[in-house]
Structure formats: C-alpha cells, structure tokens
Amino acid sequence: MKFDPKKLNALSVRLHGKHIGVINRLAGDRQLFAFEQDYIDDEKRPTLSLSFKGSTGGLVTQTRPTVRRVPPFFSNLLPEGHLRDYLAKRADVNSEREFFLLAVLGADLPGALVVAPFEREAQRAGAHHDNEHDEDDHGHGGEEPLRFSLAGVQLKFSAVMEASGGLTIAADGMGGSWIVKLPSARHQAVPENELAMLELARRAGISVPENKLVDIAGIKGLPEQAHTVESKALAVQRFDRLPNGEPVHMEDFAQVFGQFPNDKYKHRSYANIAAVLWAESGEESTYEFVRRLVFSVLIGNADMHLKNWSLLYPDRRKPVLSPAYDFVATLPYIPGDTLGLSFGDSRSLSEITPDQMRRFADTARIPASPLWQIAVETAERTVAAWKTLEQADVLPKDLRASIEKQILAVAATVK
Ligand SMILES: Nc1ncnc2c1ncn2[C@@H]1O[C@H](COP(=O)(O)OP(=O)(O)O)[C@@H](O)[C@H]1O
Ligand SMILES: [Mg+2]
C-alpha cells in the first residue's frame, strides 16, 4: 500500500492480524497510544508487552503521551543509528520523526506486529495498492521506500532462503525468515566473529539460531549502497518467524522495562532481567540467561544491553527467553571496555566471583545455590569447545588470539 505518511494522524496497531489499539498524533508533536476496548475486555488476549502488565496482573490501559518520539514500546521497534538513517532516507522521512517512520516501516516489524494507517485515515493520505501505477510515489533519489524494520544499529535486511541455499531480499524489503547482518565499516571481521561466537555458544549449551556466513556478492536484491569492502555477511534464521512465514511475537528488555532505545545501557541491571524471567518464564529461562551472561564475560562481549535480550511468546501469552543473538567478542575492538549492564554490582570483564554471583541472585531474588555451578559448567564447556572450534579458523589471527586470551583468563576465575 502506498500513501503519504505525513498526512496521517492515526496508526492502527495489529497483533497477530487483529487491531488492538491506535497510536494518535496530537497537537505539539505528541503521540499517544490507546488500547481498543475489545482487546481490554478479552481475557485470553495475546500479550503485547509485559510493560503493560499491572502489579495485579491486569492490563495497564493508562498511557502517557510522548513528545516527538512514539511511546517506548513502539520506539524500540525502529532501528537506531546507521540502519535508521538509511531506511529514513529511502522513505524520504526525517529520521527523528518516529510516527512517520513507523507509518512507513510498520508493515513488517519484529514479532507479530503490524502498524498501518488507521482505516478512516488511509483514504485521506491517498493510500492505494501498488498495482495502481503511480510515478509520483517514488521516495528520495527515485528509490522506493523499504517497508520493514529491525532493531539495532548495523545495516541488516530480512531475506528469504531459497531451496538452493541462496538469499533473496524483496524489493520492498518485506518478508523472509532470515536476517542478513552486513559487516561493520568500523570493526574488522564482525560477521566472522559473530559466527564463531554463536557456534561456541551452541557448544557451551546455549540455544542459538541457525546461522551461516554468506558471500555478499551472491545476495539477490541487496541494495547498491549496502555493498561493503568486506565480502561476507552473517545470515541468522529469525526466531520471530515460523518456517511458513507466520510471525511469533517477541519483545526486547528495553520494551519490557518501558525504556527508550537510547537508555539501553541504563537504569536496569542483569539482576532485573533475571527477576522478570524468574517470575514470568520460570527456572529454565533464568538458568539459560545465567549461562549466556557468564558466556558474555568469557568471550569479552561488552555490548549485552537491554535490546540484546528478548522474550518470545510461542503460545501468544506466556514469555520464554528467546534464542541468543548478537554474540560478538567486542573487547578486541574496544580494549578495556566493560559489561553493558551491571552484574552483581560489577561491570568487570576480567573475572566472575562467587560474591558477585551471590549479589546478583540476591538482587534478582532467586536462589543462589545452582548459579555458581552453572557458571563453572559454562566456563568448562566454553574452554573445551574453543579448542576444537573449526569456525575460529575464519577469524583473523590477532582477533583469534585476543579472544583465546580473554576466554582462558576469565575461565581461570570461575572454578
Ligand atoms: N535470529 C533472530 N530472530 C529474530 N530477531 C532477531 C534475531 N537476531 C536479532 N534479532 C532482532 O534484530 C535486532 C538486531 O539484531 P542484532 O543481532 O542485535 O544486531 P545489531 O548488531 O545491529 O544490534 C535485535 O535487537 C533483535 O530484535
Ligand atoms: Mg543488537
């Protein structure tokens, strides 16, 4: 559907194909989200976000307007940085104007959400279907806008994996059950690094999505500007899409805590995440979280902020911890960096201590007893797996040496 986003004042929010609420654009560039009564009254309603769950378990329907940005839950569906600038430019929308950006990108969002022009508004904005040929609709530089959104900073696209194993990105960017993450312009061999760390994590007992390195030159439909000096990208299977394309709902922990993406390193700690997992998802998700946290220190991953942890809603109501993603050994790129959030009052990437783990458990109000054992097992398995990891062969020599040094140094503290 094509329309002029700047003519819109209301966006329909659809969860699993059903209209559940409206984002209104008010005077003074304020935006306000409100649930529909049907959704409020539905006792079996699919969960949109834990941030709308009240202390007694009911739906929080009182919402506050936000200025310029869309409310935090929706703001977190939009990309940041480089990816945002790129998609905004193609759509000919100011990248700061989140309401308009969401109007353009809302057709294919993370999880089971679609945000689209609210019906009674669509006509006024000149919405019509693509097959009605219209020369004036082209965005900046004669390019069509892309109509998908993924979070994060790094350039990435959603892609279809063909039976032949090749990847294709649709002309409008929509659809597909794989994410292609392109290399960084700043840091060397990030796709190779992430591939190796995901495989190492898998062997340490952590749940990770299918992934592989792909030749960028072989990706069909990749926009011209996305071509880079490095030749490989990382393809990761989407856990918020079933193989038949049906969406599985998800939210990240910035959404859970109602914080804007800007604040992804702030206000909360890993214990806060663990407390939510313990209460909402149970023991298994919580222990898996601890495994990943320990693994992140072992590999020197300083970037595990609130948006790098997500909940999935496979039964549409109850959350489980999603498979892991964005596992990159970042210390070799930024030496001396520290953990993205506080872990038992420490942000150290040089060690993990029993005291630290106890403080973490106390703050999260979870039993401390199995946690140290989980840490020891994770360290042992990581060290053992590293020694035989063929995927480490794709790493530049100095990067590989630096990761090895980090793993062994931290593992020596977890005994
Ligand atoms: N395998 C996946 N399935 C579904 N969503 C994913 C997957 N991997 C990442 N995402 C989503 O895409 C966002 C960006 O991916 P991420 O790997 O974190 O990239 P970046 O390096 O740009 O932060 C994540 O915050 C998450 O919401
Ligand atoms: Mg990320």
- Count of structural domains, the chain: 3
Question: Per 3-state DSSP, what percentage of the chain is helix, strand, and coil (rounded to 5)?
Answer: 35, 15, 45
pLDDT value, residue 119: 73
pLDDT score recorded for residue 271 = 98
36 and 168 in a single domain? The answer is no
Residues 340, 389 within the same domain:
yes
What are the φ/ψ torsions at residue 150 (nearest 5 degrees)? -135, 150
**Residue 139 pLDDT class (50, 70, 90 cuts):** very low
CB of residue 151 inside a 6 A radius of ligand 1: yes
Residue 181 maps to a domain: yes
pTM of the model: 0.96
The neighbour count for residue 228, using CB atoms within 10 Å, is 14
Say if residues 13 and 20 touch (Cβ distance below 8 Å). yes
- Whether residue 362 lies inside any domain: the answer is yes
- Token representation of residue 26: 């008010």
Kindly give the distance from the C-alpha atom of residue 75 to the centroid of ligand 1, in angstroms, as a whole number: 15
Query: What is the pLDDT at residue 174?
Result: 97
Mutational test site, ligand 1, from 73, 87, 179, 321, max ligand atoms within 8 Å of CB: 179
Of residues 7 and 326, more confidently modeled:
326
Domain of residue 13: give its range. Answer: 5-137
172, pLDDT greater than 80: yes
Same domain for 391 and 262: yes
Instruction: Collapse the DSSP code of 406 into the 3-class scheme (helix H, G, I; strand E, B; otherwise coil) and give the result.
Output: helix
Mean pLDDT of 74-84: 97
Nearest CA to ligand 1 atom 23: 152
Summarised one tens digit per residue, pLDDT across range 350-399 is 999 999 999 999 999 999 999 999 999 999 999 999 999 999 999 999 99
Instruction: Verify that 300 and 260 share a domain, yes or no.
Output: yes
Gap from CA of 121 to ligand 1 centroid (Å): 32
Rounded to whole angstroms, the Cα distance separating 33 from 73 reads 10
| Nearest atom of ligand 1 to the alpha carbon of 303 | 23
d(CA 153, CA 286): 27
Report the percentage of the chain scoring pLDDT > 70: 94
Are 254 and 343 in a shared domain? yes
Single out the residue of 340, 346, 327 nearest to residue 407, CA to CA: 327
216 and 132: one domain?
no
State whether the beta carbon of 238 lies less than 6 angstroms from ligand 1. yes
Ligand 1 atom closest to Cα of residue 153: 22
Task: State whether residue 241 is helix, strand or coil.
Answer: strand
Identify whether 303 is a catalytic site residue.
Answer: yes
pLDDT tens for 235-250 read 999 999 998 889 999 9
Q: What is the percentage of the chain residues whose pLDDT exceeds 90?
A: 89
Q: How far is the CA of 127 from the centre of ligand 1 (A)?
A: 31
Domain assignment present for residue 336? The answer is yes
- Burial class of residue 167 in the structure, from the number of CB atoms within 10 Å of its CB (0-12 exposed, 13-18 middle, 19+ buried): buried
Does any ligand 1 atom lie closer than 6 A to the CB of residue 239? yes
Q: Is the same domain home to 402 and 277?
A: yes
For residue 151, which ligand has an atom nearest its CA? 1
pLDDT of residue 129: 63
Ligand 1 center from residue 80 Cα (angstroms): 12
Q: Using an 8 Å Cβ cutoff, are 361 and 373 in contact?
A: no
Phi then psi for 46, rounded to 5 degrees?
Answer: -65, 145
Q: For residue range 250-271, list pLDDT tens digits in order.
A: 999 999 999 999 999 999 999 9
Q: Which of the four pLDDT bands, split at 50, 70 and 90, describes residue 4?
A: confident
Assess whether 267 and 399 both reside in one domain: yes
Residue-averaged pLDDT of the chain: 94
Question: What was the pLDDT predicted at 134?
Answer: 47
Q: What is the pLDDT of residues 298-346, one digit of tens each?
A: 999 999 999 999 999 999 999 999 999 999 999 999 999 999 999 999 9
How many C-alpha atoms does 237 have within 13 Å on its Cβ side? 16
pLDDT band at 103, cuts 50/70/90?
very high
Asked whether residue 113 is assigned to any structural domain, the reply reads: yes
Three-class SS of 173-218: CCCCCEEEECCCCCCCCHHHHHHHHHHHHHHCCCCCCCEEEEEHHH
Q: Which ligand is nearest to the CA of 209?
A: 1
> How many whole angstroms from 27 Cα to the centroid of ligand 2?
34
Structure confidence at residue 142 (pLDDT): 58
Ligand 1 contacts CB of residue 325 (under 6 A): yes
Query: Residue 53 domain-assigned?
Result: yes
Q: Which position among 108, 240, 252, 303 bears the catalytic label? A: 303
For residues 53 and 59, the answer to whether their CB atoms sit within 8 Å is: yes
Residue 343 beta carbon below 6 angstroms from any ligand 1 atom: no
Q: Say if 203 falls within a structural domain.
A: yes
* Distance from the Cα of residue 368 to its chain's centroid: 29
β-bridge pairing 167-168 and 113-117: unpaired
- Token pair belonging to 346: 């420490």
Task: Quickly state the pLDDT bin for 130 (edges 50, 70, 90).
Answer: low
For residue 300, give every residue at least 6 positions away whose Cβ sits within 8 Å of its Cβ, in sequence order, or none. 329, 330, 331, 332, 349, 403, 406, 410
CATH code of the domain containing 363: 1.10.1070
Q: What is the 3-state secondary structure (H, E, C) of 310-324?
A: EEEECCCCCCEECCC
pLDDT confidence of residue 132 = 46
Both 178 and 281 in one domain: the answer is: no
C-beta 139 within 6 A of ligand 1: no
Q: What is the CA radius of gyration of the chain?
A: 22
Residue of 161, 326, 333 best suited for mutating to test ligand 1, as the one with most atoms within 8 Å of CB: 326
* One domain, residues 253 and 378: yes
Check if the beta carbon of residue 211 is closer than 8 Å to that of residue 235: yes
Instruction: For residue 24, give both structure tokens.
Output: 């209104």
What are 79's two structure tokens? 């990309």
DSSP of 113-132: EEEEE-HHHHTTTT-B-TTS
Residue in this structure with the two tokens 């880079």, named with its chain if needed: 228
CB 259 within 8 A of CB 72: yes
> How many other β-carbons are positioned within 10 Å of the β-carbon of residue 225?
12
> For atom 15 of ligand 1, which residue has the closest CA?
152
At 33-63, the pLDDT tens digits run 999 999 999 999 999 999 999 999 999 999 9
Highest mean pLDDT among 135-149, 152-166, 191-205: 191-205
Are residues 274 and 404 located together in one domain of the fold?
yes
* Same domain (yes/no): 10, 133: yes
Query: What does the alpha-carbon distance between residue 265 and residue 166 come to, in Å, rounded to a whole number?
Result: 36
| Domain stop point among 137, 166, 196 | 137
Centre of ligand 2 from the C-alpha of residue 179, in Å: 12
Question: Is there an atom of ligand 1 within 6 Å of 280 CB?
Answer: no
Which atom of ligand 1 has the smallest separation from the CA of 328?
Answer: 21
Q: Is 326 in the pocket of ligand 1 (CB under 6 A)?
A: yes
Instruction: Determine how β-strand 249-252 pairs with β-strand 310-313.
Output: antiparallel
Distance 37 CA to ligand 2 centre (A): 35
Model pLDDT, residue 226: 87
In a domain, 52, yes or no: yes
Which of 237, 266, 293 is at the close of a domain?
237
153 lines ligand 1 (CB under 6 A): yes
Q: Count other C-beta atoms under 10 Å from residue 119's C-beta.
A: 11
- Residue 401 pLDDT grade (very low, low, confident, very high; cuts 50, 70, 90): very high
Say how far apart CA 202 and CA 224 lie, in whole Å.
34
